[in-house]
Amino acid sequence: MTTTDSPPDAKPGRLKPPARRRNSGDTERGFSRVFRWITTGSGAFLLLVLAAVAVFLIARGLPALTASPDELSGKGGLPTGMNSLWDLVGPLVFGTLLAATMALLLATPVAIGIALFISHYAPRRAASVIGYVIDLLAAIPSVVFGLWGGRTLAPIISDVWVWIAGVLDFLPFWTVNVTNTGRSLATASVVLAVMVLPIITAVSREVFLQTPTLHEEAALALGATRWEMIRTAVLPFGRSGVISAAMLGLGRALGETMAVLMILSPGILYSFQIFDSGQQQTIAAFIASRFAEASGLAVNVLIATGLALFVITMVVNMGARAIVARRKEFSGAN
Amino acid sequence: MSATTSITDDAGAVERTRALLTTADSGRRRADRAMTILIYGAFLLAVIPLVSLLWTVVVNGVERFDGDFLFTSMRGVFGGMDMGGAYHAAVGTLMITLTATVISVPIGLLVAIYLVEYGRGALARATTFFVDVMTGIPSIVAGLFAFALFTIFLGPGAKLGIIAAVALSVLMIPVVVRSCEEMLKLVPNELREASYALGVPKWLTIVRVVLRTSVAGITTGVLLSIARVIGETAPILITAGVSDSINFNVFDGRMMTLPVYIFSQYRQGPVPCREDALDCLVSINFDRAWAAALLLIIIVMLLNLIGRLVTRWFSPKLR
């Protein structure tokens, strides 16, 4: 029955769509069009939000940028001895970059190691468990890292810093000061390193797993050991991925507030005394520590420093994303 | 005799040649082994802080972690009093995170639908790129943005839960977009085509077929993004302030959240007690901070766990 019925049914069905399309010129009608507008609008809204972040920060930071030195040191709440905004922002940018760079230098080699461990060394079943453990590290809130860093890590690690400072004592032209409390930029950087570790690991792991199997097998067939295979096939393939992963980690470390705020004993200096307290401060921690008491122009000053942080992290992140995007286009793996 | 020795010599030579060809020489083998040890070491090095952190939080936090802590606020608690809890902070965390979720999930989901179902051309490319960039916005900058936005209307001293919720939304939306996008991409095209073939309009196909199929994945993504923002401290500190009382209303007055509670207790530091004071605990502030940290970690871990279980239980069996 069905076989005899279907041809007459199918025929008008096959004929109708072209006719309808000719009539309206567009198959999209009714709520479908509204729905497309709604979703497209929310896409545009997202871009608007990002633009709004920049616009509002600029608008509210502008009074601080245009204020006279007298106003800044009076109502602007600048620390004594400073009479322009750059006197404040400069050392803060320096401290932020120093802390983030040190964190990155500590975290990247370890993260690459873990990523290789998961992708090429660990047994298959263990690898997913280990990946989950590393993700756990990413899920822990930064304030808990700060609490742990300030209460547990700082007293322990200060002995290590004292020892390192003792070893470095032979250096001429440079005396290494060291604090016994452990509340130094070095400790903060170690905690920051632990916090960015999961990000760098996650991205690098994905890249390493994408290495073409044929490259790996070719290397092994030529008699390479496992490490030589990784060095000749995996690492060159993953280089740009690792670089962008490190930059993403850098972006995270630059903006991290609580760990630095709770561990570091701050100062506002251009100083490389990373084992001493009262030397450097980062932008994010500075804003968080001053914001509650600030009012009037002081708020504008803080927002202007926040704008500096926003610009730095945007540049770093966009750089990282651009590398990732370019890699996607030219990669032979897909 | 001579024949046999020459054969054994040959065998030895063959063995040596084979060894030469099939195994690496000792220097290369040593490098290989050293790198293996280093890579295993890197993994162990990363586990140490994780274990240490979880261990100290559990050991220090479990002491005060009881019903009294969970269901009292800090109102009227001062000095080294052996009382006070995190109820008000838990309430604030719940309300602010809930508000942020209500704001972010619809927007995030719509953007994801746009990117997967409609996204062509420059706007889609720009959106994809800037979603990635937005995931890197420092949390304190999001807080400053929300503050700058609301204080234009409400005056400079405004500290409300809703401002914090907006700040968290700025951080949360890109995460929701990313995870929902991945989930929507997983829906097989055959399902969409089958739906179109039945004459279902596109929007109904998306709502009834695509979203229905990926609801488990989307739930997971939302839960994980909540877990991500629930621990944010800095933006809430500068937008919702600090409070000692219970406040359920995000549109009225300051609110406390668990991360800010941890921070403010930590900042108060040790209590100066008199020598003979019996009701004064020197370390009470740190004890409360640890207990609140334990509560926060439990919440985050539960969200992660439930998120993963939801995918495992409710994802459609496609194959």
- The answer to whether A229 and B35 have CB atoms below 8 angstroms apart is no
Q: Is the pLDDT of residue A17 over 60?
A: no
Q: Which of B138, B128, B125, B101 is nearest to B230 (CA)?
A: B101
- The answer to whether B292 and B261 have CB atoms below 8 angstroms apart is yes
pLDDT for position A334 = 40
Q: Which of A252, A247, A307, A283 is nearest to A55 (CA)?
A: A307
Structure tokens at B284: 């009470």
pLDDT for position A13 = 45
pLDDT-wise least confident of B51-60, B246-255, B273-282: B273-282
Residue with tokens 């802080």: B49
Residue A110's closest chain B neighbor by CA? B42
| CATH code of domain A67-330 | 1.10.3720.10
Q: Is the pLDDT of residue B54 over 50?
A: yes
- The answer to whether B255 and B281 have CB atoms below 8 angstroms apart is no
| DSSP for residue B187 | S
Residues 66-105 of B with CB under 8 A from A: none
ipTM here: 0.85
Q: Which of A98, A82, A95 is nearest to A281 (CA)?
A: A95
Give burial (CB, 10 Å; 0-12/13-18/19+) of A214: exposed
Residue B261's closest chain A neighbor by CA? A143
Of B134, B148, B177, the CB nearest to A60: B148
Which tens digit of pLDDT belongs to each residue from A137-148? 888 899 999 999
Q: Is the pLDDT of residue B107 over 60?
A: yes
Which tens digit of pLDDT belongs to each residue from A103-162? 999 999 999 999 999 988 888 888 888 888 888 888 889 999 999 999 999 889 888 888
Confidence of residue B318 (pLDDT cuts 50, 70, 90): low
- The answer to whether A184 and A274 have CB atoms below 8 angstroms apart is yes
Q: Where are the beta strands (DSSP E) in chain A?
A: none
Residue A334 Cα, gap to closest chain B Cα (Å): 17
pTM (2 decimals)? Answer: 0.85
Q: Is the pLDDT of residue A322 over 90?
A: no
Q: Is the pLDDT of residue A52 over 60?
A: yes
Confidence of residue B135 (pLDDT cuts 50, 70, 90): confident
Domain ranges, ordered by start, for chain A: 67-330
Alpha helices by DSSP H, listed for chain B, are 2-22, 26-61, 67-70, 87-113, 121-134, 139-154, 161-186, 189-197, 202-205, 211-213, 215-229, 234-239, 258-268, 284-314
Residue B48's closest chain A neighbor by CA? A194
DSSP assignment of A102-165: HHHHHHHHHHHHHHHIIIIIS-HHHHHHHHHHHHHHHHS-HHHHHHHIIIIIHHHHHHHHHHHH
pLDDT for position A10 = 44
- The answer to whether B123 and A39 have CB atoms below 8 angstroms apart is no
Rounded (10°) angle between helices B284-314 and B258-268: 160
pLDDT for position A3 = 43
CA dist B223 to A139, B112, B178, B180, Å? 12, 16, 13, 11
Q: Does B302 touch chain A (CB under 8 A)?
A: no
Q: Does B12 touch chain A (CB under 8 A)?
A: no
Q: With contacts defined as CB-CB under 8 Å, which chain A residues touch B110?
A: 38-39, 42-43
- What's chain A's average pLDDT? 83
Q: Is the pLDDT of residue A11 over 60?
A: no
**How large is the average pLDDT for residues B288-307?**
91
pLDDT for position B103 = 93
Number of Cβ atoms within 10 Å of the Cβ of B268: 13
Q: Which of B266, B303, B288 is nearest to B97 (CA)?
A: B303
CB contact under 8 Å between A194 and B49, yes or no, is yes
**How large is the average pLDDT for residues B49-61?**
91
